[in-house]
Structure 1
Amino acid sequence: MGRRLRIGIDTGGTFTDVVALDEDTGEIVTTKTPSTPADPAEGFADGAGKALRLAGAEPGDVAALCHGTTVATNRLLEDRVDGLGLVTTEGFEAILEIARQSVPDGYGNSYFWVKPPRIVPVHRVRTVGGRLDHTGAELRPFDEASAVAAARWFRDEGVRAIGVCLLHSYADPAHELAMREVLRREHPDAVVSLSCEVLREYREYERAVTTLVDAAVKPAMNGYLARITERAPSRLLVMKSNGGVLSADEVARQPITTVLSGPAAGALGAAFVVARSGHGSVVTLDGGGTSTDVAVVLDGEPTLTTEGAIGRHPVKIPMIDIVTVGAGGGSVAWRSAEGALKVGPRSAGADPGPLCYGRGGAEVTVTDAHAVLGRIPPHLLGGEVPLDVDAARAGLAALAADLGLKAERAAAGILEISAWNQANAIRQITVRRGLDVRDYPLVAFGGSGPLLACRLLDVLGLPAAVIPENPGNLSAFGLLTVDVRNDYVRTRVVRDAELDPALLGEVFADLEDEAAGALAREGFGRDLRRFARSADLRYYGQAFEVRVPAPAGAPDAAFRAEVVRRFHDEHEALYGYCHRGDARHPVEWVNLRVSGIGPITRPRLRERPPGDGDTSRSRTGTRRVYFDAWEDAAVHRRERLAPGDVLHGPAVIEEFGSTLPLHPGFRARLDGYGNLVVTR
C-alpha cells in the first residue's frame, strides 16, 4: 500500500512555504522556495516538487494538496479591478457614488478628503426595470427588454466582468437569476457574479461592492486555479478567509472567499499548535517579507468578522479578523521630506528584494538592518540563500549619512520603527476591541515574525512570546489543520416579540440543505457533515448587529430565548452594557447563518521527553550582535535543543526558516511540544 501525504503550500510575497504530512506515520517535512510573482503557479509547482523530493515520495502518494493564495488579495491591494460593469435596479444607478458617509480618521482630520474613484464608474452602470420589496414580494415584474438592452451594451462595449445586484434580491433571487439567463444568451463571454450567490444579506452598498469584487477577481483567480490544478499531483483544496478549505471547483464559483487566505491559515495553525501547550487565548503575529498580519485567538478559535476591507474595497464576507500592516522583512526604510526616518509600507518584495539578497535591490530594508546588526545569520534557509552583508552595510551607511546618524543607530532605528508598527497593529486588534493586550501571550511566526518578539514584549507589556517549531512554515502547516467549510446567510429582519419560531426552523433548514449539498459535492457522507448555526441580533434602532452562536435542535420558544440571552451577554461583553428585560429596547433579529463543516484528519503533535538541561550541544559559536550596544552573543541551533532547555540573552537561536534574537534580560525555554517560550 502506498503512502498518504497531505501537502500544504502557502504562497507569500517573498517565499512559498511548504509542509508535507505523512498521515500514517505523522512525519512532517518542511521547506521553502522563492515565490514567483510573475506567475505564482511556478512557485507552487516548485514547492510541491521540492517537498516530494525531501519526503522521498512520488506524486501518486499525495492524497490532498491544500493551498493558501494571495492572487485575489493582490489584485485588490494593487487596485487591478478595471473593466467592471454593474447591473442594478432602475433608479439605483448612483448606489456606488452615494456609498457610505464614513470618512477615514473622522471629519476632524479629513477636511480635504475626497472619495476615491468608485469600483465601477457611472457610465458602466446599467439598470433594469422590476422591483421587489424587503420581504421578496414582487412590486413590479422583471423587465426583460431593459435587461436585454443592458446585456447588449456590455457586449458591445467589451465589458466582460459583470456584477448583478438588484434591490432586495437577498429575500428572493428570482430577478437576479433571470438577469443571468439574459446575460448568458446575449453576452455568453461575460463572467457574471450574482449578489444572491455571493452575499445573500441586506445592505445594498456592501452587497454590491462585494459582488463586484468577486466579479473582478474571478477571471484571474479561475485562470490561476486552472494552471495549478494542472500541476497538482492530487485533489486541490484552497484556503478560504473564513478558516476553512474548499475544492478548487467550489472556490472557482466564489473566488472572493479566498482573500486573506494565507493569513487565515497562519492564525489557525498558531491556534492549533499552542493549544497543546495550554495557551487557549493568544495574539498571533505572522511576519513575512512584505507585511505582518496579526489576529486574536480566544479559547482556541480565531475571532471572525464580516466587516472587513481589502485595500479601499469593503468586503462583507466571513473572514478571520486580521489586521495587516506593511512591516515585513522587505519593508523599505526611507527618509521623508521632513528628514525623518520612515519604514514601509512599500516593500522590496521577492524580486529584487533587500540589498543583502544581491539581486539588484537598491533600497535599505528591515532585513538589511537585521543583517548588519548581526541578528540574522549571513545566509537564509540553511545556506540556500547567502546574504551579501557588505552590500547591506554600504546601503545602510549611505542612508545613515543622509539622516546624520551612525550606521548602527540607523539600523536600530529601522528595527524600532518596525517594532512599533507591529505593536500598533496588535493594539488595533486588541485594545480597540476591548481586550487588554497584557493578558495574552504573543505567538510569533513567519520568516520575520520572531525577530522583534523581545522588543514587542517590552513595548506592549505582554506576558510571554511563543515561537512554534518551524515558525517560517506555520501558515503552510495551518493549511493541514483546517476543515472543509462553507458559510450561508439569509436576512430576516423581525422583532423578537413578533418572531415565529417556525420561520427560524424553515430558514435554518434551507441553509443547512445548501450546506449539505456543498459538502456532498466535496465527498462528505451524511454522517460526516456538521452544521454550526449563528444569528445576528441588535436592539431596535441600532445600525449594526452582534453575532452569537445558536444551539442545535428544532427552534422553539426556548431556542429563541437562549439566542436572545446570548445576545445580551455578548453585547454587554463588547460594549459594557445591555438592555436585558428593558421593553423600551426590543431585540431585533437580522441575519441567520449556517456553516457547513466537513472534518479532516488533523496532524498529531507528540509531546517529547525532557532533556538533561545541557545546552552546550546546541551552541555553534559566538557572534557580535548589536542590541543597545555591540555584544558577544552565543549562537544556538534550535533543532539541537531539548524540552526543558533554557537559554539566556544575549543569544541568537537559528533554524531553517527563521531566527530568534534573544535580547539581554530575556530567556527562552523549550517546552514539551517544541515551542520556544520567551519571557523577561
Structure 2
Amino acid sequence: MARRLRIGIDTGGTFTDVVALDIGEDGAGGGADGAGGEPVTTKTPSTPADPAEGFAAGVAKVLGLLGASPEDVASLSHGTTVATNRLLEDRIDDLGFVTTDGFESMLEIARQSVPDGYGNSYFWVKPPRIVPAHRVRTVGGRLDHTGAELRPFDEESAVAAARWFRDAGIRAIGVCFLHSYANPAHELAMREVLRREHPDAVVSLSCEVLREYREYERSVTTLVDAAVKPAMNGYLARIAERVASRLLVMKSNGGVLSADEVARQPITTVLSGPAAGALGAAFVASRGGRRSVVTLDGGGTSTDVAVVLDGEPTVTTEGTIGRHPVKIPMIDIVTVGAGGGSVARRSPDGALKVGPRSAGADPGPLCYGRGGTEVTVTDAHAVLGRIPPHLLGGEVPLDVPAARAGLEELAAGLGLTVERAAAGILEISAWNQANAIRQITVQRGLDVRDYPLVAFGGSGPLLACRLLDVLGLPAAVVPENPGNLSAFGLLTVDVKNDHVRTRVVRDAELDAAVLAETFAELEDEAGAALAREGFPEERRRFVRSADLRYYGQAFEVRVTAPAGPPDEAFRAEVVRRFHDAHTDRYGYGHRDDPRHPVEWVNLRVSGIGPIERPRLPERPPGDGDPSRARTGTRRVYFDDWEETPVYRREKLAPGDAVDGPAVIEEFGSTLPLHPGFTARLDPHGDLVVTAGEGR
C-alpha cells in the first residue's frame, strides 16, 4: 500500500517539534481497518536566524526515521512564530499609514485607557505609536457609516501620498479610511493608485483585513498585517524552496490555511503555535470523554493557558500581541512568564521573585552549562531531583552541581536552605500558572473546579500535582509525548476562514431581508475562499455567529447563530442565546426588560473545510503491574529527601497505576508525582493524575 504522510511541524524558540502520521490511501490514518497507526515524533534544533532551515531539517529527520521520501508527504501543517516574534520584538520598520483627511492623529489619540487603571499606573508612559506621525499621509474623500459617499475619492492627494512613500523608500503600507467596513470602494481605489505609482509596495487594506467598525482597532490591525507581511512572505518562500509538499499554516482562530492564502493575510497567524497546542489538547481530552478542560502549555519562556468548552477552545477578538491591539478571531489564550527558563532572583526588598524574565535557550539555565549566570525554574527542578540529570533521552546532559552552586548563593541571601529556596521557586511558579488559569476561568465566569487540566509542553507536567492542590481541579491529563502535542495538534485542524460585517441596529428595528442578504454575502465570500483551497461545494461548511449587546454598552457578546433562513424565529433564537450568554458571563441579564433593548453589532460567518482527523488505535490493557516500567530510584525532594522510584512512561500499559512519590520520565518531558497522588494510564496512552482522599 502506498504511503501518504501528514506531518505537523511546530517551530519554537529552542526546538522544532515534528509529528508524522501515515494516513494511508483512505485518509483515515492508515491500517487495513482505517483506524490509524502510531504517530512518529521527533525534535530538531530551531534556527532563529532562518527558521526555514530548522523546518526543512525537521522534515528530513522524520522522513529518515520512517524510511520515507518527500514524495510520500501528502501535506505539511505548520505552526510558526515568525509573525508573533516580529511583533513581540517590536521589529517594525519602514511602515506607512494612509487614512482619511482629518484623521491623521488617530493613532496618537488611540484609546483613553491605561494598564490596570489610573490608580496603579501613575508612572505609566504611553508607548510609541506603531507608525510615527511623519509617516502618515491623508487622502481626501469621505463615507458615512452606511457606506454612502459624502465626498468623492481625491485621486490627486492619493497620488501625492503614493509618490511620497515611494520616494521615502517605505514599502509596507496600511490603508484605513473612515467607514470602509461599510463600503470598500475608496480603499480599493487607493490600492490601484499605489500599484500604479509605487509597484514595489506591500499593501494591506482594512476592508480586507478587518471589515468591522472601530477605526482605531481596525487601523492598528491593518498596520500589523502590513508590518509582518514582508517577513512572512519571505519565510514562506524560503520553505517552498526547500519543501515541495502542500503547506498548511496554523491560524490564530483554530484553523489552517494554505501558504498562498496566508501570504494574503499573515496577521491571522500571530498566535499560530499556542493555538495548535490548544487544539491538540482539545482533541486528546475529547478522545478520553472530557469535552471541557483547561489547557496548560508549558515552555521554556512562558506558559500558555486556554479553556476548551464542549470540545472547542474559546475564541476572542479582544487580543494584543506585544503592545499592539489585534482585533482578529483568535483562541482565547492567557500567557504568563512562568516557563522552565524563568529567572529566580532576590528583589530589593528581600523577597524571592520568579519571572517573567527568562534565561531563554542561550545561555539558558545554569544546568545547561552554556554560560548561564542566573538561577531558573529548571535549575530548581534539577537540584530537587524532580527531573533526570539529562534531557531528551540523554541528548542534553545537565550540570546539576552548577545549578546547586547558584541556588546556594541565592538561598544564602534569602536566609534559606537550598531545598527551601528551590521549593519556594517552584511554589511561586505554580502560583503564577494558577493565577493565569484563574484569569481564563474565574474572570470569564467559569468555576475552575469543574475542569480537568491538560498539561503538556516540555515543562507543562512538572507542576501538575501542585496545580491540582492549589486550584482544586478534579484531575490532570498528561498526553503521550506532551512536548510534541502542539505539532500533533496541527494534524487535527480543519481549514477555516472568518468573515465579518458591521450592522449596528436595534433588535426591534432589524430588517430580516438585510440580515439574510448580509449572511448570504458572507457565505459567498467564505465559499470562494474554500474554493481556492480546493474544497468542492459539498464539502464546505458554514458557521454563523453574531455580536450583540444591550443598547448603551461599549462592547459585545458573541453567540453562535442557528442554521436556516434568517427569519423571525432565527432572530428570536439569537437574542435568547445572547441573554443566556450575558447572564453566564456577567451574572445578570435584561431579558424582557424594555428599558434595555438589544442591539445587533456584527454578523460573522466562518467557512470550514473539514480535514480527516487522526483516529489513533486504543492500546490493549496490561496486567496492572507497573513494576515492569520501573528503572530504579533516585533521591527526590518533595516534602523531604526520599529515595523515589523512577518509571519509563513508554513501558507502562493501560490500567497501570503509579502512586506517588514517584517520577515518570519520557523523551520530551517528566511528571513528578507528589506523595498522595496517583497516575493511571488510560486506553489512549494518556496519564490521568488524581489526588487521593487525604489531599
Partner of 1:184: 195
- Mean Cα displacement is larger for which, 604-613 or 217-226? 604-613
Inter-partner Cα distance in structure 2 for 1:56 and 1:394: 45
* Structure 2 unmatched runs, 5+: 25-29, 31-35
Instruction: Trace 1:559-570 onto structure 2 (pairs within 5 A).
Output: 559-570=570-581
Cα offsets for 1:457-479 (capped at 9, x unmatched): 11111111111111111110000
Partner of 2:342: 331
Kindly tell me the number of residue pairs found equivalent between the two proteins.
680
Contact 1:161 1:192 in 2 (8 A): yes
CA positional deviation for 1:407: 2.1
Amino acid at match of 1:261: S
* Structure 1 moving runs of 4+ over 4 Å: none
Amino acid at match of 2:18: V
Structure 1 position 540 matched with structure 2 position 551: yes
1:636 to 637, 647, 653: 647
- TM-score, L = length of structure 1: 0.98
- Mean Cα displacement is larger for which, 211-220 or 379-388? 379-388
Contact 1:292 1:327 in 2 (8 A): yes
Inter-partner Cα distance in structure 1 for 2:688 and 2:79: 27
Amino acid at match of 1:263: P
Cα offsets for 1:643-665 (capped at 9, x unmatched): 11111111000011110000111
Cα offsets for 1:105-158 (capped at 9, x unmatched): 111112232211111121211111000000000000001111111111112222
Contact 1:447 1:657 in 2 (8 A): yes
Partner of 1:584: 595
2:638 to 609, 612, 627: 627
Inter-partner Cα distance in structure 1 for 2:587 and 2:532: 44
Cα offsets for 1:377-397 (capped at 9, x unmatched): 111111222222222222222
Inter-partner Cα distance in structure 2 for 1:627 and 1:33: 33
Instruction: Trace 1:471-620 onto structure 2 (pairs within 5 A).
Output: 471-620=482-631
Instruction: Trace 1:108-147 onto structure 2 (pairs within 5 A).
Output: 108-147=119-158
- TM-score, L = length of structure 2: 0.96
1:91 to 96, 102, 106: 102
Partner of 1:254: 265
- Mean Cα displacement is larger for which, 46-55 or 285-294? 46-55
Amino acid at match of 2:5: L
Amino acid at match of 1:23: I
Instruction: Trace 1:180-329 onto structure 2 (pairs within 5 A).
Output: 180-329=191-340
Inter-partner Cα distance in structure 1 for 2:391 and 2:478: 18
Contact 1:306 1:318 in 2 (8 A): yes
Inter-partner Cα distance in structure 1 for 2:85 and 2:342: 16
Cα offsets for 1:289-347 (capped at 9, x unmatched): 11100000111110000001111110000000000111111122223233322222222
Partner of 1:341: 352
Structure 1 position 12 matched with structure 2 position 23: no
Inter-partner Cα distance in structure 1 for 2:7 and 2:347: 44
Amino acid at match of 1:305: T
Structure 1 position 36 matched with structure 2 position 40: no
Identity %: 86
Contact 1:286 1:294 in 2 (8 A): yes
Partner of 1:158: 169
Instruction: Trace 1:347-426 onto structure 2 (pairs within 5 A).
Output: 347-426=358-437
- Mean Cα displacement is larger for which, 228-237 or 165-174? 228-237
2:86 to 72, 75, 82: 75
Amino acid at match of 2:15: F
SS where residue 479 of structure 1 aligns? helix
SS where residue 653 of structure 1 aligns? strand
Partner of 2:22: 22
SS where residue 346 of structure 1 aligns? strand
- Mean Cα displacement is larger for which, 470-479 or 405-414? 405-414
- Mean Cα displacement is larger for which, 36-45 or 629-638? 36-45
Amino acid at match of 1:657: G
Partner of 2:33: none
Amino acid at match of 1:8: G
Amino acid at match of 1:12: G
Contact 1:88 1:166 in 2 (8 A): yes
SS where residue 226 of structure 1 aligns? helix
SS where residue 678 of structure 1 aligns? strand
Inter-partner Cα distance in structure 2 for 1:452 and 1:233: 41
CA positional deviation for 1:606: 2.3
Cα offsets for 1:27-46 (capped at 9, x unmatched): 21011122222221122112
Inter-partner Cα distance in structure 2 for 1:18 and 1:273: 17
SS where residue 390 of structure 1 aligns? helix
CA positional deviation for 1:233: 4.1
Inter-partner Cα distance in structure 2 for 1:348 and 1:3: 42
2:671 to 660, 670, 676: 660
CA positional deviation for 1:353: 2.1
Contact 1:639 1:655 in 2 (8 A): yes
1:52 to 63, 87, 103: 63
SS where residue 362 of structure 1 aligns? coil
* Structure 1 unmatched runs, 5+: none
1:679 to 668, 677, 690: 690
Structure 1 position 454 matched with structure 2 position 479: no
Contact 1:9 1:67 in 2 (8 A): yes
Amino acid at match of 1:268: L
Cα offsets for 1:146-184 (capped at 9, x unmatched): 111111111222222111010000000000011111111
Amino acid at match of 2:395: E
The Cα RMSD (Å) is 1.2
